Chain A
Amino acid sequence: MEKFSTITSRAVPLDEENVDTDQIIPARFLKAIDRQGFGENLFRDWRYDEHDSPKADFILNNDAYKGSILIAGKNFGSGSSREHAAWALSDYGFKVVVSSFFADIFKNNALNNGLLPVQVSNSFLSIMLKKVQQDPAEEIEVNLEKQTITLLRTDESEPFEINPYKKKCLQNGYDDIDYLLSILKKVDAYEKGTTV
């Protein structure tokens, strides 16, 4: 996994609540057997019409908005456990998703792929959405070490929570499997009802 430190970027404001994983990547695009290429179908049915033409009113089709930060409404990533949702967001180029609330499984999937879910307050989310909608050139800094997210132009900032273990994994590019493989002796002992 790639190491994560500080990201400074413009953002894409997706002003929708309850964005479920079926919207992020519809089930009919889950037939691949590798992890690549899902970005093409990110938000497929919001992004393209039935003739595969881009829908002009969808935010990803608006050239004014760019960047590696996605700002979305409350309760992002609910529904299916498909990790393809996290893969699609990463593959498209996002490194951070900001919302005021994340679904549990999505949050784990994102973290396991080096995609940082940043949970902010409802009020800060509204400010962020408004600022970026008003000025697409607004820059945002996400500092993992300090655990802060900042609107750089006005220096409005909010701290965010992340578990110390997960933080360390992201900063060092470790994944959980590396750790689990290092304790297989303990697993074996657990199965035998003994301790190491």
Chain B
Amino acid sequence: MAKTLFDKIWEKHVVDRIPDGPDVLYIDRHFIHEVTSPQAFSGLEQRKIPVLRPEQVFATPDHNVPTMDQHLTIGDRLSRLQVDKLTENCNKHNIQLFHLQHENHGIVHIIGPELGITQPGQTIVCGDSHTATHGAFGTVAFGIGTSEVEMVFASQCLLQYKPKRMRITVDGELNPGVVSKDVILYIIAKLGAGGGTGYFVEFAGSTFRNMSMEARMTVCNMTIEMGARGGLIAPDDKTFEYVRGKKLSPVGAELEKKIEEWSQLYTDEDALFDIEYVFNAPDIAPMITYGTNPGMGIPIDEPVPTNKGEEKSLDYMGFKQGQHLLGMPVNYVFIGSCTNARIEDFRAVAELVKGRQKAPNINAYLVPGSKLVEKQIDDEGIREVLAEAGFTIRQPGCSACLGMNDDKVPKGEYCVSTSNRNFEGRQGPESRTILASPLTAAATALTGKITDVRTLV
């Protein structure tokens, strides 16, 4: 029978089936971080059981860490305690930790792929909803809660109900100034913040085929923002080339054998999906959000729509229906997060700001996703270009995406942000987030007001 890619990977990982109940799903890779793991480790201790397969678990502190002076002891007592607890737990249970001083430290969803831990066909989980990022490699990757982190520690398995299948096809060439972030914001705006709930999504079509691996990761990363469990893209030569030569990737004959296996990871021609959506790439413009969930997105040059039931959200944002946001002054810009903190994002930003100057009113947080990205920024001269334009590069971490550390947006201020969530208070109490691509964020940083990047290139 014809099968979807999602079905192929899922079925290969079913250890057992509970009658009238969930599947027992085997997990290949388990990423952990400091915020959602401590209670899971405590649970193991209470039950007096070990981590079953520590060699399949990888840890990094990212949510809570400062993005300046990382060589110093963490100032915030509670943050330090959480980061120290992660180190202690990893040492105790023999788990590989990419600690704050490690040359491979970074945001969990950035380092997994760039170290070759993430490979096609795997099942991957992490106590973080943006685990969907890894789907860009043709994996079944999804976020879990802390009780489930404990389950994976204990058994390398999870009890899971199989989600329904959704395919989103986008074909055609993207317009100038439009990048992968705009594509996913467009899709979420079309489907709504709950439009994918209960589904696992496959992204198909020439638009995704033509994207780099970095761009595909941005797309899959935000699948959760429409409520879907995860999203994946069938692996191809670009995927295999990306994996080749990474620090923890297979090598030699083993890699070639793997690539042969991975080449079978595609949706059969006649496979059926529970629901399908089709969009045209040329219809997509640079997108921004105007409300307090990621489904509230519009083309940057269109007015705030007159939808019922959005009044409270608009009130929070200080926007009115029918208002144009282009040209509106903004004092904060954040370029970073597991959505957009890869080298390609910083290359695009550098290309745009080269020879220009940051607007004086702008406070910019530029936060690379990992030490490796930071190194590339240095090796490629991007740090200098950005410095000449008035920007400082900080050190890796989740940073202003969720405001757990000091990188916050003050009350009432707007921030054009390349992150993934515009919820109330997400970037700090009463902060107002406008989600956008790195290009739109950089354009805004140059002018000090919401700017259509197409007017600058």
Residues of chain A at the chain B interface (Cβ within 8 Å): 16-18, 20, 22-23, 26-28, 30-35, 45, 50, 74-75, 78-84, 86, 101-105, 108-109, 112-113, 163-166, 175-177, 179-181, 183-184, 186-187, 190-191
- Whether A186 lies near B16 (C-beta < 8 A) is yes
**B14-49 CB contacts (< 8 Å) to partner A:** 15-16, 18, 20-22, 24, 26, 35-36, 38-39, 42-43, 47, 49
- Whether A22 lies near B421 (C-beta < 8 A) is yes
From B424, which residue of chain A is reached at the shortest CB distance? A23
Chain A residues with CB under 8 A of B47: 177, 181
- Whether B197 lies near A103 (C-beta < 8 A) is yes
Write 9 A-B pairs (CB below 8 A) sorted by A numbering. Answer: A18-B292, A20-B293, A31-B79, A79-B421, A81-B143, A180-B154, A180-B157, A180-B159, A190-B26
**How many Å from the CB of A45 to the closest CB on chain B?**
5
For residue B423, CB closer than 8 A to chain A, the reply is: yes
**How many Å from the CB of B75 to the closest CB on chain A?**
13
- Whether A81 lies near B157 (C-beta < 8 A) is no
- Assuming the contacts A45-B424, A165-B21, asked whether A78 and B154 have C-beta atoms less than 8 A apart, the reply is no
- Assuming the contacts A22-B423, A78-B194, asked whether A181 and B49 have C-beta atoms less than 8 A apart, the reply is yes
Chain B residues with CB under 8 A of A35: 39, 42
From B401, which residue of chain A is reached at the shortest CB distance? A27
- Assuming the contacts A34-B39, A78-B193, asked whether A104 and B156 have C-beta atoms less than 8 A apart, the reply is no
Which of B112-120, B145-153, B275-283 forms part of the interface with chain A? B145-153
- Whether A105 lies near B129 (C-beta < 8 A) is yes
**B121-160 CB contacts (< 8 Å) to partner A:** 127-129, 143-148, 150-151, 154-159
- Assuming the contacts A18-B193, A45-B425, A108-B148, asked whether A34 and B293 have C-beta atoms less than 8 A apart, the reply is no
For residue B426, CB closer than 8 A to chain A, the reply is: yes
Q: Which DSSP category, helix, strand, loop or mixed, fits chain B's interface?
A: loop
**How many Å from the CB of A16 to the closest CB on chain B?**
8
Chain B residues with CB under 8 A of A166: 21
Chain B residues with CB under 8 A of A164: 20-21
- Whether B78 lies near A32 (C-beta < 8 A) is yes
Q: How far is the CA of A74 from the CA of B292 in the complex (A)?
A: 15
From B125, which residue of chain A is reached at the shortest CB distance? A81
- Whether B423 lies near A79 (C-beta < 8 A) is yes
For residue B360, CB closer than 8 A to chain A, the reply is: no
- Assuming the contacts A112-B148, A187-B15, asked whether A180 and B127 have C-beta atoms less than 8 A apart, the reply is no
Closest 7 CB pairs of A and B: A165-B21, A83-B145, A31-B78, A109-B145, A180-B155, A112-B147, A33-B38
- Whether A27 lies near B82 (C-beta < 8 A) is no
- Whether A163 lies near B403 (C-beta < 8 A) is no
Interface residues on B, range: 35 or more
- Whether A83 lies near B15 (C-beta < 8 A) is no
Chain B residues with CB under 8 A of A28: 403-404
From A35, which residue of chain B is reached at the shortest CB distance? B39
Q: How far is the CA of A97 from the CA of B76 in the complex (A)?
A: 34
For residue B52, CB closer than 8 A to chain A, the reply is: yes
- Whether A23 lies near B38 (C-beta < 8 A) is no
Q: How far is the CA of A50 from the CA of B52 in the complex (A)?
A: 45
Chain B residues with CB under 8 A of A86: 145
Q: How far is the CA of A5 from the CA of B229 in the complex (A)?
A: 30
Indicate which residue in A33, A45, A102, A112 contacts B81 across the interface (CB closer than 8 Å): A33
- Whether A176 lies near B403 (C-beta < 8 A) is no
- Assuming the contacts A80-B129, A81-B143, asked whether A33 and B20 have C-beta atoms less than 8 A apart, the reply is no
Indicate which residue in B82, B154, B309, B425 contacts A26 across the interface (CB closer than 8 Å): B425
Residues of chain B at the chain A interface (Cβ within 8 Å): 15-16, 18, 20-22, 24, 26, 35-36, 38-39, 42-43, 47, 49, 52, 63-64, 76, 78-79, 81-82, 85, 127-129, 143-148, 150-151, 154-159, 161, 163, 193-194, 197-198, 224, 227, 229, 292-293, 309, 312, 402-404, 411, 421, 423-426, 429-430
**How many Å from the CB of A149 to the closest CB on chain B?**
21
Indicate which residue in B42, B198, B312, B425 contacts A104 across the interface (CB closer than 8 Å): B198
- Whether A31 lies near B81 (C-beta < 8 A) is yes
- Whether A83 lies near B18 (C-beta < 8 A) is no
Chain A residues with CB under 8 A of B194: 18, 74-75, 78, 101, 103
Q: How far is the CA of A177 from the CA of B348 in the complex (A)?
A: 46
Chain A residues with CB under 8 A of B76: 31
Chain B residues with CB under 8 A of A22: 402, 421, 423-426
Indicate which residue in A27, A103, A183 contacts B403 across the interface (CB closer than 8 Å): A27
Q: How far is the CA of A74 from the CA of B159 in the complex (A)?
A: 26
- Assuming the contacts A33-B82, A105-B145, A177-B47, asked whether A82 and B36 have C-beta atoms less than 8 A apart, the reply is yes
Chain B residues with CB under 8 A of A26: 425, 429
**How many Å from the CB of B103 to the closest CB on chain A?**
27
From B24, which residue of chain A is reached at the shortest CB distance? A183
Q: How far is the CA of A46 from the CA of B7 in the complex (A)?
A: 42
Chain A residues with CB under 8 A of B159: 165, 176, 179-180
Chain B residues with CB under 8 A of A31: 35, 64, 76, 78-79, 81-82, 404
Could you say which of A81, A165, A176, A187 has the most chain B C-beta atoms within 10 Å of its C-beta? A81
- Assuming the contacts A26-B425, A165-B18, asked whether A176 and B197 have C-beta atoms less than 8 A apart, the reply is no
Contacts A28-B404, A30-B404, A177-B147 supplied; 20 other A-B pairs, CB < 8 Å:
A20-B423, A27-B404, A32-B78, A50-B411, A75-B194, A78-B194, A83-B146, A101-B197, A103-B197, A105-B229, A109-B148, A112-B147, A165-B22, A166-B21, A177-B43, A180-B154, A183-B15, A186-B24, A187-B15, A187-B26
- Whether A81 lies near B36 (C-beta < 8 A) is yes
Chain B residues with CB under 8 A of A45: 424-425, 429-430
- Whether A187 lies near B197 (C-beta < 8 A) is no
